[in-house]
Structure 1
Amino acid sequence: MHKDQVEGGMKDAKGKLKEGVGKMTDNERLEAEGHADQAEGKIQKTVGNVKEGVRDALKK
């Protein structure tokens, strides 16, 4: 597992938490930050998946 996959998953989870808190407190800014964190996390996770796939392909 590549570090980008782990870090991306953590950012995604943090974003979901921020979004939830923002919704509960009617804080639109916090909710928007949560959405942004989730998007960033998903992108980083995808980059990690690609790196992992390339590494596996080079081993063969």
Structure 2
Amino acid sequence: MNSNQVEGKLQDIGGKIQEEAGKLVGNQEQQVKGLKNQVEGKTQEKVGDAQQTIHNATK
């Protein structure tokens, strides 16, 4: 795993937690921020996946 994969996964998990916390307290703004963090995290994770694929292909 590379750093983009790890950081992306952590941001995705953090976003899920933030979204659920927003649901628990009825705060839509926190829910939206959580969803945004999930999307950003998944995107970063996919970039890391692509980097890993390229790295493995050049070995």
* TM class by smaller structure: over 0.9
Which aligned pairs between 1:45-60 and structure 2 lie closer than 5 A? 45-59=45-59
Identity across the alignment (%) = 37
Runs of 4+ aligned residues of structure 1 deviating over 6 Å after TM superposition are none
Please report the RMSD computed on the Cα atoms of aligned residues, expressed in angstroms: 0.3
Q: What is the letter of the counterpart of residue 22 of structure 2?
A: G
- How many residues get paired? 59
Q: Report the TM-score when normalising by structure 1.
A: 0.97
Partner of 1:22: 22
Partner of 2:37: 37
Q: Report the TM-score when normalising by structure 2.
A: 0.99
Take 1:2 and 1:47, find their aligned partners in 2: how far apart are those partners? 10
Stretches of structure 2 that go unaligned for 5 or more consecutive residues are none
Q: SS in structure 1 opposite 2:34?
A: helix
